[in-house]
Amino acid sequence: MSTVRGVRQPTIKEVASRAGVSPMTVSRTLAGGRNVRPDVQERVMAAVRELGYYRNENARSLRPGQPSGLIGVAITNLANPYYGNFALGVEEVAAEHGRRIILGNTGEDDARERQLVSDFIGRQVDGLILVPTSGDAAHLRPERLGEVPLVLASRRVPGLDADTVLLDDVGGAYRGTAALLDAGHTRIGFLGNRSSVFTGERRYRGYERAMTERGVPVDPAIVARDQQDVDAASRAARAMFDLADPPTAVFSANNRNTIGAMREIGRRLRDGVPGPRPAVVSFDDFELSELMPVPVTIIDHDARLLGREAATLLFSRLDGSAEGPARTVELPVSIESP
Amino acid sequence: MSTVRGVRQPTIKEVASRAGVSPMTVSRTLAGGRNVRPDVQERVMAAVRELGYYRNENARSLRPGQPSGLIGVAITNLANPYYGNFALGVEEVAAEHGRRIILGNTGEDDARERQLVSDFIGRQVDGLILVPTSGDAAHLRPERLGEVPLVLASRRVPGLDADTVLLDDVGGAYRGTAALLDAGHTRIGFLGNRSSVFTGERRYRGYERAMTERGVPVDPAIVARDQQDVDAASRAARAMFDLADPPTAVFSANNRNTIGAMREIGRRLRDGVPGPRPAVVSFDDFELSELMPVPVTIIDHDARLLGREAATLLFSRLDGSAEGPARTVELPVSIESP
DNA sequence: CTGTTAGCGCCTTCAA
DNA sequence: TTGAAGGCGCTAACAG
């Protein structure tokens, strides 16, 4: 037995000739069978089965105006479970609408994002969903995208007016910080992303607002805003805790910073380093938070839901049920006390 | 200003007429510019820019034998960080080869997998990578797939001889269990997936082999093999620890079971439930394992690498550098003691 | 170096 | 109820 490699996919013509009909009859049968005699339909379907025929979707969508059934999705980091869940949400809604997703990972790289978007457009995607890298917006302008609708998720792009799905970053950070203040803390550290990261800026704003509203000054010595990964976060936490006047509580603006802070707290406990056992508020959930040696409050949200909302917004443009100016959906977050 | 929606994507013809050349000259220019005068190329590229033209990849790949540049990827659960990383690895290698991935989530559903595969074939994917659900293999047979190469990842499909990338499940589980035995444990519980799950079966086999080789009997009372999620794992752990003769150590066959076991262990400590503080070996890493209240050994591996290997195997078929019978790559795992 | 012709697989349109 | 013609966007193959 030789392999089947090299055997071209059968075409509609081959199905037609095997069923003894014209290609059009096959096409009509596959399209639902309107105006095709039942017995003919059966002959056609038999031929389809025997040949292992699959309709060529690319050829099908060649005709302008025909949807390709593809949604282009570009995210910044698939390895982050947050974005995995996001992608899952998008995929679910796309599947519910009979669409498939083409997925690209940008790795926070501008050039890569541009490249992905071009490719997506070239593949005739019906729509685009992306978690933008904080770059410029030229390649996302309507005149570049033509009629392809775009939804941004998690972040905005400066100067680009597009449908957007966000979390309530400011509100969540505000409430989380307020919870610490209510518990009597006044020396509250901040761990987060640099301000050029959209969510980093917003979450800092929430923290800052809660502090100043209560008349508690923000001390730059215990604000660290440039940690993108767990190791950097650990180091930042360490430096903060080593101060003569360390924070009694920490607001962590995302999962990576929280894990880093926890590692450092754990290290100090294991090594018997004296000093604070700071309470922690974490924007983003993490597993086993209940086993941590310090009280942890979680600002929780649902990335999958965010993905579903993004896709829903996109499809509302695609089916024409939403028109007009760009919309922003801001999803609520919930505070879970220890 | 009205919206740009409804403006069709420009075609090669429009670029041609704007540049004052024939479509072929545009095509040649876009293909690299061989045999096109430099000044003409510049005119063409100018027209491309001005019109915001993107080559229609679907039309391009219409011609039989032309690759579509798409790889179909179907995985069981994108929300699981393990598979997120896997998908990332596939995406990386695909991108290195100038390919894009179409991603579908099967949710362990057979019918969905069949549907996804049909759709992928219909979209003329150049290859398929899938984490199969433990169903039958009819839709994956070569005669159904035509010339589209297939790589299975993480699991095998009974009765299907296809390129496969696996972890060293048996060896990893064996070594992990042996580590517990070496530490003097003889009463070692097992938490894992049902035996119909490929990895569940293999990891149990490694556990069993280590036990019997050392002459330690496997006690069914402390073997729980049917937990697919964290809650079920917690319950199974609880039942096991509540026994009159509880295990002094636990082998957990995957991340979900480990988290469940940890939750239960944490609960018992918090609530002051008397009883064992079992040592744990976990197949799959998890964050903050060093903060756990019991010693944890990790059987670690790299899902991203698994994805990269799967894609590499696929491309070796696509470019003809690998021919002949199906291959299996088994990636090693590493044991990290507490 | 450039253009014309033809055809990939499918489906809309029109005719029978 | 069925089929034939034509064209979607693009590019090999073949002129010129």
Q: What is the pLDDT of residue B11?
A: 93
List, chain by chain, residues whose CB lies under 7 Å from nucleic acid strand D: A 21-22, 24-25, 28, 35-37, 40, 62-64; B 8, 11-13, 23-24, 27, 30-31, 55-56, 59-60, 62-63
For residue B64, the chain A residues in CB contact (below 8 A) are: 8-9
Q: Given pLDDT bands bounded at 50, 70 and 90, which one contains residue B9?
A: confident
* Closest residue in chain B to residue A116, using alpha carbons only: B100
Cα gap A297→A279, rounded to integer Å = 8
Task: For residue A204, give how far its alpha carbon lies from the nearest alpha carbon of chain B (Å).
Answer: 25
**Cβ neighbours around B323 below 10 Å, total:** 9
Q: What is the pLDDT of residue B1?
A: 26
Cα gap A237→A221, rounded to integer Å = 11
Mean pLDDT in residue range B48-62:
92
For residue A92, the chain B residues in CB contact (below 8 A) are: 105
Q: What is the pLDDT of residue A95?
A: 95
Least confident of A244-253, A294-303, B135-144, B183-192: B135-144
Cβ–Cβ gap A9/B147 under 8 Å: yes
Cβ–Cβ gap B84/A78 under 8 Å: yes
Cα gap B328→B125, rounded to integer Å = 22
Nearest protein residue to nucleotide C5, judged by CA and C1' positions = B24
| Phi and psi, residue B273, nearest 5° | -65, 125
Q: Is the pLDDT of residue A97 over 50?
A: yes
Q: What is the pLDDT of residue B6?
A: 44
Q: Is the pLDDT of residue A176 over 60?
A: yes
Q: What is the pLDDT of residue A7?
A: 56
Q: Is the pLDDT of residue B5 over 50?
A: no
Q: Is the pLDDT of residue B318 over 50?
A: yes
* Closest residue in chain B to residue A270, using alpha carbons only: B291
Q: What is the percent of chain B where pLDDT is above 70? A: 98
Domains and CATH numbers, chain A: 1-53 (1.10.260.40), 169-300 (3.40.50.2300)
Mean pLDDT in residue range A101-108:
93
Q: Is the pLDDT of residue A185 over 80?
A: yes
> Can you spell out the DSSP letters for B77-136?
-TTSHHHHHHHHHHHHHHHHTT-EEEEEE-TT-HHHHHHHHHHHHHTT-SEEEE---SS-
